[in-house]
Amino acid sequence: MNSRVGIVIVSHSPDVARGTADMVRQMVGNEVPLGWCGGNPDGGLGTSVEKILGAIDAAWSDAGVAILVDLGGAETNSEMAIEMLPEERQAKAVLINAPIVEGAIMAATESWGGGSLDEVRLTAEELAPR
């Protein structure tokens, strides 16, 4: 199991999710667990709790996962996905309030450097508008 915090990218657009994940990989390589998803079950714009759960599983780490979302529906579905996780995992899955692309890169960089889940969250959230 990876000891670095995992990063999860949830977008309404599959292309935005995939592109953001590609940028993260180019910045930090494969050492940070990464999961992403986008689109509704029919392939259109939207999000899916099932896809989010799959992305969380793909990025899971004993250090936890930081979830970045693009719009309100992605946040709501990510909250539902966290609630559906086994109880021991729920406390290790946090939503990050940051711009999705910049936040994912900053969160992944902090994770790559060995930051804790709280440090990853705080680093990414420094980007949030005040």
* Per-residue pLDDT reduced to its tens digit, 19-44: 999 999 999 999 999 999 999 999 89
pLDDT attached to residue 103: 96
For residue 94, what is the enclosing H or E element? strand 93-96
pLDDT reading at 128 higher than 70: no
pLDDT classification of 130: cutoffs 50, 70, 90? low
48-76 pLDDT, tens digit per residue, is: 999 999 999 999 999 999 999 999 899 99
pTM score, whole prediction: 0.95
Query: Is 42:69 a contact under the CB 8 Å cutoff?
Result: no
Cα radius of gyration (the chain): 13
pLDDT classification of 2: cutoffs 50, 70, 90? confident
pLDDT reading at 1 higher than 60: no
> Residue 60 has what DSSP assignment?
-
Query: 10 Å Cβ neighbour count for 26?
Result: 9
103-113 pLDDT, tens digit per residue, is: 999 999 999 99
Residue 25: HSE in the Cβ half-sphere, 13 Å Cα cutoff = 12
**Residues identified as active-site:** 12
CATH number for the domain whose boundaries are 6-125: 3.40.50.510
Listed in sequence order, the residues at least 6 apart from 125 whose beta carbon sits closer than 8 Å to its beta carbon are 96, 97, 98, 103
Residue 100: HSE in the Cβ half-sphere, 13 Å Cα cutoff = 23
pLDDT attached to residue 96: 96
